[in-house]
């Protein structure tokens, strides 16, 4: 069933990233089947090899030794005409069934979305669909579901468990728990977790939870899902809580990333070092016509490591392997950033950068980093911390002169402890901006500056001077070879 990934690389589009994963051309969305096999990381993804639109979804495939540099592999799953996945091989996960790589995914045909299984060769390159597909032909009869798909599979002793994403009419999102001894025959157990009138811990979680991902983290468990409502994709949510007797009790809910739909359907793995690595789909923020014209759409986020802090809250930071992409660098500071006197960094500019900024904003003041700035400031994107309201914002109102690109602001709560400096890591990759603050919050978004000279970086302070302790900037290498 394997098919070569034959496509002409999309080049010549200045918005195309150079150090984020994406296929050579056409459409991609959710990461799938994220697994470490031996020492190699395998990443599958929702892929349309024919066009830059979400249609006839296959499973694309790539592999990496370091989570940073990827090699493209043949398509893993292709819809089978007349089969339960005739209209698409949708999201799911991969497990090691005593040495047999096994995928459980959603087969889409007409209005139906049903669990299907495929097994792989040792190198995970060729896959055979199970002749008994679909393995779960119908949803539980005692629930009135608005939608039902996507799979997270794990083993406890000799028993396999899986969660399916769902939405219960009038109630909201749910993660439905199933049990199996052989990955092929499944019994429905009960909902592992259900929204309370479309909310969890005060956070709205929509009509349905897509792409559940469930895993232990320190002494707790985390349920990550993505909020779907009325055909709109909203954001990825992490519920941190306790898992006992096959029930999950969330203690609190938060967005996993505050860039909303620009970080969606994440999937994670525990690698051989034991760390939990998560990666999400970074959706476009420009029109469908512009995506078609560019002949590519969608990328993956940088891989992030998740942990639990001493306060029981999630910690999130880019994996250390990304430091291998750092090229030429510049350092600025220590220095004061005077209120209303922006400091344009003469030594730092570009569209493939990492910036690490350590700064003390004035008490109650604002401090910001402007990126992709045109010399006359008509285009610029602002990363702003406001100490008065303990909030980090990406202000895209002037990100692009193209009115058909996203311009809404993204905000994240960020309270600093007494005396704690603000620590920003800003990853700029052409149209992608990923910002991590104090290992506590991340904001991922898209920007499409129109001008080729929108490359500047500046620092600014308002309502008092900020003390810049240090800024390091690196030009980032491409993750692909020269043809990339």
**Residue 30 in 3-state DSSP?**
strand
Interface with ligand DQQ includes 91 (CB under 6 A)?
yes
Among 26, 46, 56, 444, binds ligand DQQ (CB under 6 A): 46
Residue closest to 423 by CA, chosen among 348, 369, 373, 351:
369
Among 17, 22, 29, 48, binds ligand DQQ (CB under 6 A): 29
Among 56, 78, 106, 381, binds ligand DQQ (CB under 6 A): 106
Residues contacting residue 198 through CB under 8 Å, at least 6 positions apart: 171, 172, 173, 204, 205, 206, 207
Closer residue to ligand DQQ in complex, CB, 47/427: 47
Binding characters for ligand DQQ, 249-268, by CB under 6 A (x = yes): ---------------xx---
Residue closest to 92 by CA, chosen among 123, 69, 113:
113
Question: Binders of ligand DQQ among 207-246, rule CB under 6 A?
Answer: 210-211
Pairing of strands 26-37, 296-297: parallel
Closer residue to ligand DQQ in complex, CB, 237/383: 237
Least Cβ distance, residue 46 to ligand DQQ (angstroms): 4
Measured torsion, CA atoms of residues 236, 238, 239, 245, in degrees rounded to the nearest 10: 100
Residue closest to 208 by CA, chosen among 269, 277, 148:
148
Measured from each CB, the residue nearest to ligand DQQ is: 90
Report how far residue 164's alpha carbon sits from residue 178's, in angstroms, rounded to the nearest whole number. Answer: 8
Among 19, 22, 25, 30, binds ligand DQQ (CB under 6 A): 30
Check: CB of residue 372 under 8 Å from CB of residue 428. Answer: yes
Residue closest to 236 by CA, chosen among 206, 266, 208, 207:
266
Interface with ligand DQQ includes 56 (CB under 6 A)?
no
Check: CB of residue 187 under 8 Å from CB of residue 164. Answer: no
Return the structure tokens found at 77: 């799953």
Interface with ligand DQQ includes 85 (CB under 6 A)?
no
Least Cβ distance, residue 481 to ligand DQQ (angstroms): 29
Least Cβ distance, residue 192 to ligand DQQ (angstroms): 17
Whether residue 97 lies in the annotated active site: no
Among candidate residues 13, 30, 96, 257, the one labeled active-site is 30
Kindly list the catalytic residues: 30
Q: Which residues bind ligand DQQ (CB under 6 A)?
A: 29-30, 46, 57, 90-91, 106, 149-150, 210-211, 264-265
């Amino acid at each position: 069933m394997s098919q070569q990934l034959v496509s002409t690389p999309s080049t010549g589009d200045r918005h195309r990233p150079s150090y984020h994963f994406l296929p050579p051309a056409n459409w991609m969305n959710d990461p799938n089947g994220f697994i470490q096999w031996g020492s190699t990381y395998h990443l599958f993804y929702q892929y349309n090899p024919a066009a830059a639109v979400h249609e006839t979804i296959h499973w694309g495939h790539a592999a990496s030794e370091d989570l940073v540099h990827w090699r493209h592999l043949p398509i893993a799953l292709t819809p089978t005409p007349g089969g339960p996945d005739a209209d698409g091989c949708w999201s799911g996960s991969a497990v090691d069934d005593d040495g047999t790589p096994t995928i459980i995914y959603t087969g889409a045909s007409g209005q139906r979305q049903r669990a299907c299984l495929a097994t792989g060769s040792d190198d995970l390159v060729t896959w055979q669909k199970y002749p008994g597909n679909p393995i779960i032909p119908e949803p539980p009869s005692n629930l009135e579901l608005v939608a039902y798909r996507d799979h997270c599979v794990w083993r406890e002793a000799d028993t396999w468990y899986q969660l399916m994403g769902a939405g219960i009419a009038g109630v909201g999102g749910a993660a439905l728990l199933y049990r199996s001894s052989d990955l092929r025959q499944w019994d429905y157990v009960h909902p592992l977790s259900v929204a309370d009138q479309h909310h969890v811990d005060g956070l709205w979680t929509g009509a349905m939870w897509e792409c559940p991902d469930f895993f232990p983290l320190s002494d707790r468990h985390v349920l990550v899902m993505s909020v779907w409502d009325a055909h709109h994709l909203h954001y990825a949510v992490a519920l941190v809580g306790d898992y006992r007797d096959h029930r999950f009790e969330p203690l609190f809910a938060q967005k996993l990333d505050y860039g909303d739909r620009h970080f969606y359907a994440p999937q994670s793995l525990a690698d051989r070092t034991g760390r939990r690595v998560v990666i999400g789909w970074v959706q476009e923020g420009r029109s469908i016509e512009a995506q078609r014209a560019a002949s590519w759409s969608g990328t993956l986020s940088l891989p992030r490591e998740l942990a639990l802090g001493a306060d029981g809250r999630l910690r999130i930071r880019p994996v250390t392997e990304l430091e291998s992409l750092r090229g030429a660098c510049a350092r600025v500071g220590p220095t004061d950033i005077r209120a209303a006197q922006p400091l344009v960094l003469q030594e730092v500019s570009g569209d493939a950068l990492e910036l690490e900024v350590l700064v003390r904003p004035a008490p109650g003041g604002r401090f910001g980093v402007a990126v992709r700035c045109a010399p006359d400031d008509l285009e610029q994107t602002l990363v702003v911390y406001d100490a008065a309201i303990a909030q980090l914002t990406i202000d895209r109102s002037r990100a692009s002169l193209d009115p058909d690109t996203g311009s809404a602001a993204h905000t994240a709560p960020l309270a600093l402890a007494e005396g704690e400096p603000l620590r920003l890591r800003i990853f700029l990759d052409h149209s992608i901006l990923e910002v991590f603050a104090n290992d506590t919050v991340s904001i991922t978004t898209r920007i499409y500056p129109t001008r080729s000279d929108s490359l500047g970086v500046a620092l600014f302070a308002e309502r008092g001077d900020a003390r810049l302790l240090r800024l390091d900037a690196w030009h980032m290498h491409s993750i692909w070879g020269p043809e990339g």
